[in-house]
Amino acid sequence: MKTFDIPEQDEYFRDHFNAVTEDGKRNWFYPQKPKGNWHNRRVWFTVVLLGLLFAAPFIKLNRQPLLLFNVLERKFIIFGIFIGPQDYWLFGLTMLSFMVFIVLFTTVFGRLWCGWACPQTVFMEMVFRKIEYAIEGDAGKQKLLNKAPWNTDKIIKKGSKYFLFLAVSFLIANLLLAYVIGVDELGKIISEPIGEHIPLFSGIVGFTAIFYFNFAWLRDQACTVVCPYGRLQGVLMDRNSIVVAYDYKRGETRGKLHKGKERTEGDCISCNQCVAVCPTGIDIRNGMQMECVNCTACIDACDSIMDRVGFDRGLIRYTSENAIVNKTSKLITPRVIGYVVVLILLWSGLGFMLASRTDTQTTMFRAPGSQYVENKDGSISNLYTFKIFNKTNHVVRPKLVLENSQGKLIFAGTPDLTLDGAGMAQGTVFIVIPKSELTSRKTKLKLSVYQNNEKLETFETTFMAPQN
User: Binding residues for ligand SF4, per CB under 6 A?
Assistant: 244, 246, 251, 268-274, 277-280, 282, 284-285, 292-298, 301-302, 305, 315-316
Using a 10 angstrom Cβ sphere, with 0-12 exposed, 13-18 middle and 19 or more buried, the burial of residue 291 is: buried
**Smaller CB separation from ligand SF4, 315 or 324:** 315
- What is the SS3 assignment for 392-419? CCCCECCEEEECCCCCEEEECCCCCCCE
CA–CA distance from 289 to each of 219, 294, 395 (Å)?
A: 18, 10, 52
Q: Are 316 and 244 in contact (CB under 8 A)?
A: yes
**Smaller CB separation from ligand SF4, 107 or 121:** 121
**Smaller CB separation from ligand SF4, 75 or 285:** 285
**Smaller CB separation from ligand SF4, 41 or 408:** 41
Long-range contacts from 5-11, C-beta under 8 angstroms, 24+ separation = 5/287, 5/321, 5/325, 6/248, 6/252, 6/285, 6/286, 6/287, 7/248, 7/252, 7/253, 9/285, 9/286
In the bound complex, what is the minimum distance in angstroms from residue 139's beta carbon to ligand SF4? 13
Using a 10 angstrom Cβ sphere, with 0-12 exposed, 13-18 middle and 19 or more buried, the burial of residue 372 is: middle
In the bound complex, what is the minimum distance in angstroms from residue 189's beta carbon to ligand SF4? 37
In the bound complex, what is the minimum distance in angstroms from residue 105's beta carbon to ligand SF4? 18
H-run or E-run covering 109: helix 88-109
3-class SS of residue 30: coil
**Smaller CB separation from ligand SF4, 274 or 432:** 274
In the bound complex, what is the minimum distance in angstroms from residue 215's beta carbon to ligand SF4? 17
In the bound complex, what is the minimum distance in angstroms from residue 256's beta carbon to ligand SF4? 10
At residue 103, what is the residue type?
V
Residue 260 has a CB neighbour count (10 Å cut-off) of 4
Buried/exposed code over 333-356 (b: 16+ C-beta within 10 A; e: otherwise): beebeebeebbeebeeebeeeeee
**Smaller CB separation from ligand SF4, 282 or 383:** 282
Query: What's the CA gap between 245 and 288, in Å, rounded?
Result: 7
Using a 10 angstrom Cβ sphere, with 0-12 exposed, 13-18 middle and 19 or more buried, the burial of residue 68 is: buried
In the bound complex, what is the minimum distance in angstroms from residue 292's beta carbon to ligand SF4? 3
In the bound complex, what is the minimum distance in angstroms from residue 120's beta carbon to ligand SF4? 12
**Smaller CB separation from ligand SF4, 233 or 381:** 233
**Smaller CB separation from ligand SF4, 306 or 346:** 306
In the bound complex, what is the minimum distance in angstroms from residue 291's beta carbon to ligand SF4? 7
**Smaller CB separation from ligand SF4, 96 or 271:** 271
Q: Which residues pair with 68 in a beta bridge?
A: 77
In the bound complex, what is the minimum distance in angstroms from residue 223's beta carbon to ligand SF4? 8
